C-alpha cells in the first residue's frame, strides 16, 4: 500500500509520472466539451435574435478561458503536484483557503458536473428511441431510464479509471476523439452540405443597450461551457516532463475547444432563423444541436445526431472522474480529508478509493434534481472558485522558493482580464431576480468549507498557515 502520510510539499517521484502529452491534452478537451455547447446557444438566440452577438459571446468566453489556461500553466509548472486548484490556493493563501477551495471543487467542480454530464448523455442517447425502449423495458425502469443509465455510466467509468493509468489514458483518448469527430461532423457537414442560409448572420450586430442585461447572465453559462481548461493541472503530479508538457496541454487543449465551439455555433447560425426562434418556447430551442441538425438535414438525421451527442458527453464524464480524485488525494495527504482518499492501489498506482467514492457520490446526485437545476447550482460557485485559483498567481509569482520554469506572457493582463469578467458575470447573476437564489446557494457551498475545516485540525509539526 502506498504511503498515506506523504504530503504534497515536494514533487512526486518519477515513477508516478505515467501520463504523456496527449493524455493531458485529451483531458483538457474532454473536460471542456459538455452540455453547454449543446444547449446554451439556442436560448441566447431566442432571447436576443442576434447571431453576431452569439458568436461574439462564445469568442469572448474563449478568450477568458485562454487567459485562465495561461495562468494555470504558470501555477502548475511551479507546483507540479497532484491536486490542481487545491494546491495552488493552499500555497498562495494558506490552509483555510485551500480547504475551502478543495472542498468546493470536489462538490461543484466534479461531483455535480459529472452528474450533469451523465444525465445529459443518457438524455441524448435515449430520447430518439424512447418509444422503442418503453416497449422493451419494464415500466419501472422505462420511466427512470435516464437516471438509471446515467448512474450506471458513472460507475462503469469510475471502475475503468480505478484500474490503471493505461486504462484511463485509453478511455479518455477514445472518448475525446469521438467527441471531436461528432462536433466536427456537425459543424463542417452542416456548413458544407446542409440546407441553411448565411443571411441569418445579418439579423443583428453590435448588441443594443436593451440586450446587454440579457447577454450578461448568459456569459456565465458560456464560461461554464468552457470550464475544464485547467484539467491537465490536476494531473500535474502524474505528467511526464511537466515544465514542458503542462503549458502545451493547457493552452493547446483550450485552443482546440475554442475552434470547435466557434465552428459549431457558426453551423447553428447557418441553420436556424433567429426570427423564427423568437416565436418558439424555450424548451423547444434548448436542444439547439438537434434543432439545427433537423433544419440542415431533416428529422432522421436529427435522431442519429441526437444520439451521437450523448457519446460526446462520455468524454466529459471520463475527464472529471479521472481528475477529480486527485484533489481528494492531495487533501488527504495534507490531513484535511478522510485518509482513505490518500491511498493508492498497491499495484496499479491509482487513487482507486477516491475514484470510486466520487463515482458513487456523483451517481447519487443524478437523482437529486433536473439537469438545469444542477447546472445553475454549479456554475456560479465554480466561477468564484476558478477566480480564486487564477488570483493565486499574484502571491505565488513572488515566491522565491518555488521554481518558475514557465512565465505566462503579458503578465498581469491575462489573470486580470479573467478576474474582471468573472466578477462581472457573478454580479450580473446575483442581480437577476430569477437566478439570485440559486447563485447564493452555490456560493454558500463554498462557505460550508469553513465549519468543515474545523473537523481537520492542523497536524503537529505541520505548517498551519
Q: Write phi, then psi, for 455 (nearest 5 degrees).
A: -75, -10
Cα separation of 183 and 197, whole Å? 20
Of 300, 402, 339, residue with least CA distance to 3: 339
pLDDT at residue 2 greater than cutoff 70: no
Burial class (CB in 10 A: 0-12, 13-18, 19+), 154: buried
pLDDT at residue 104 greater than cutoff 90: no
Cα separation of 114 and 366, whole Å? 9
> Which pLDDT belongs to residue 25?
94
> In this structure, are residues 51 and 204 in contact, taking their beta carbons and an 8 Å threshold?
yes
> Which pLDDT belongs to residue 391?
97
Q: Which residue has the higher pLDDT, 136 or 163?
A: 163
Question: What are 132's three cell numbers?
Answer: 422503442
> In this structure, are residues 330 and 87 in contact, taking their beta carbons and an 8 Å threshold?
yes
Sequence-distant (≥ 6) Cβ neighbours of residue 429 within 8 angstroms:
217, 220, 380, 435, 436, 439
% of the chain residues with pLDDT over 70: 92
> Which pLDDT belongs to residue 373?
63
> In this structure, are residues 327 and 102 in contact, taking their beta carbons and an 8 Å threshold?
yes
Q: Write phi, then psi, for 441 (nearest 5 degrees).
A: -60, -40
Question: What are 220's three cell numbers?
Answer: 456565465
First and final C-alpha spacing in the chain: 30
Quote the pTM value.
0.86
How many residues does this entry show for the chain?
A: 465
Structure-derived torsion over alpha carbons of residues 264, 385, 433, 210, reported in degrees to the nearest 10: -50
> Which pLDDT belongs to residue 260?
95
Kindly report, residue by residue over 105-119, the tens digit of the pLDDT.
887 788 888 888 898
Instruction: Tell me which of 3.40.50.300, 1.20.1740.10, 3.40.190.10, 1.10.10.10 is the CATH number of domain 14-453.
Output: 1.20.1740.10
Q: Write phi, then psi, for 105 (nearest 5 degrees).
A: -65, -40
Sequence-distant (≥ 6) Cβ neighbours of residue 304 within 8 angstroms:
128
Sequence-distant (≥ 6) Cβ neighbours of residue 116 within 8 angstroms:
34, 35, 371, 374, 375, 378
> Which pLDDT belongs to residue 158?
95
Kindly report, residue by residue over 366-402, the tens digit of the pLDDT.
887 665 666 667 778 888 889 999 999 999 999 999 9
Could you give the count of Cα atoms lying within 13 Å of 20 in the half-sphere of its Cβ? 5
Question: What are 465's three cell numbers?
Answer: 498557515
Kindly report, residue by residue over 83-100, the tens digit of the pLDDT.
889 999 999 998 888 988
Round the CA-based radius of gyration of the chain to a whole number and report it. 21
Residue ranges covered by each domain of the chain? 14-453
Any idea what the Cα angle at residue 175 is, between residues 171 and 178, rounded to 5°?
A: 145
Cα separation of 40 and 27, whole Å? 22
Question: What are 301's three cell numbers?
Answer: 438525421
Cα separation of 42 and 204, whole Å? 15
Highest-pLDDT range among 154-158, 203-207, 219-223, 235-239: 154-158
> Which pLDDT belongs to residue 374?
63
Amino acid at each position: 500500500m502506498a504511503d498515506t502520510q506523504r504530503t504534497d510539499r515536494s514533487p512526486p517521484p518519477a515513477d508516478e509520472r505515467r501520463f504523456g502529452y496527449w493524455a493531458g491534452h485529451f483531458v483538457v478537451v474532454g473536460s471542456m466539451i459538455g452540455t453547454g455547447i449543446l444547449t446554451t446557444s439556442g436560448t441566447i438566440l431566442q432571447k436576443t435574435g442576434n447571431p453576431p452577438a452569439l458568436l461574439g459571446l462564445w469568442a469572448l468566453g474563449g478568450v477568458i478561458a485562454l487567459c485562465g489556461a495561461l495562468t494555470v500553466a504558470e501555477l502548475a509548472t511551479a507546483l507540479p503536484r497532484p491536486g490542481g486548484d487545491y494546491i495552488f490556493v493552499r500555497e498562495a493563501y494558506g490552509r483555510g483557503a485551500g480547504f475551502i477551495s478543495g472542498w468546493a471543487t470536489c462538490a461543484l467542480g466534479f461531483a455535480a458536473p459529472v452528474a450533469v454530464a451523465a444525465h445529459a448523455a443518457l438524455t441524448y442517447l435515449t430520447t430518439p428511441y424512447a418509444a422503442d425502449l418503453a416497449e422493451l423495458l419494464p415500466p419501472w425502469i422505462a420511466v427512470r431510464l435516464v437516471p438509471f443509465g446515467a448512474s450506471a455510466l458513472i460507475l462503469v467509468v469510475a471502475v475503468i479509471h480505478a484500474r490503471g493509468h493505461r486504462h484511463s489514458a485509453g478511455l479518455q483518448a477514445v472518448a475525446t476523439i469521438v467527441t471531436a469527430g461528432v462536433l466536427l461532423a456537425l459543424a463542417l457537414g452542416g456548413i458544407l452540405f446542409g440546407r441553411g442560409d448565411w443571411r441569418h448572420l445579418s439579423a443583428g450586430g453590435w448588441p443594443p443597450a436593451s440586450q446587454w442585461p440579457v447577454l450578461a447572465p448568459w456569459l456565465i453559462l458560456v464560461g461554464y461551457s468552457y470550464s475544464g481548461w485547467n484539467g491537465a493541472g490536476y494531473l500535474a503530479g502524474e505528467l511526464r516532463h511537466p515544465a514542458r508538457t503542462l503549458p502545451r496541454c493547457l493552452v493547446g487543449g483550450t485552443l482546440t475547444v475554442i475552434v470547435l465551439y466557434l465552428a459549431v455555433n457558426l453551423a447553428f447560425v447557418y441553420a436556424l432563423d433567429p426570427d423564427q426562434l423568437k416565436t418558439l418556447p424555450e424548451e423547444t430551442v434548448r436542444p439547439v444541436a438537434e434543432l439545427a441538425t433537423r433544419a440542415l438535414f431533416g428529422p432522421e438525421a436529427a435522431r442519429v445526431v441526437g444520439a451521437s451527442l450523448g457519446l460526446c458527453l462520455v468524454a466529459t464524464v471520463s475527464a472529471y472522474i479521472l481528475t477529480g480524485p486527485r484533489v481528494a488525494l492531495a487533501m488527504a495527504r495534507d490531513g484535511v480529508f478522510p485518509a482513505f482518499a490518500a491511498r493508492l492501489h498497491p499495484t496499479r498506482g491509482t487513487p482507486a478509493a477516491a475514484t470510486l467514492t466520487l463515482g458513487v457520490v456523483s451517481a447519487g446526485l443524478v437523482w437529486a434534481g433536473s439537469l438545469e437545476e444542477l447546472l445553475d447550482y454549479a456554475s456560479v460557485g465554480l466561477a468564484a472558485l476558478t477566480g480564486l485559483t487564477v488570483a493565486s498567481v499574484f502571491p505565488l509569482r513572488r515566491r522565491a522558493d518555488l521554481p518558475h520554469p514557465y512565465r505566462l506572457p503579458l503578465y498581469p493582463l491575462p489573470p486580470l482580464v479573467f478576474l474582471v469578467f468573472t466578477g462581472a458575470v457573478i454580479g450580473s447573476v446575483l442581480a437577476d431576480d430569477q437566478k439570485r437564489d440559486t447563485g447564493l446557494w452555490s456560493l454558500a457551498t463554498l462557505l460550508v468549507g469553513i465549519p468543515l475545516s474545523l473537523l481537520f485540525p492542523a497536524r503537529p509539526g505541520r505548517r498551519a498557515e
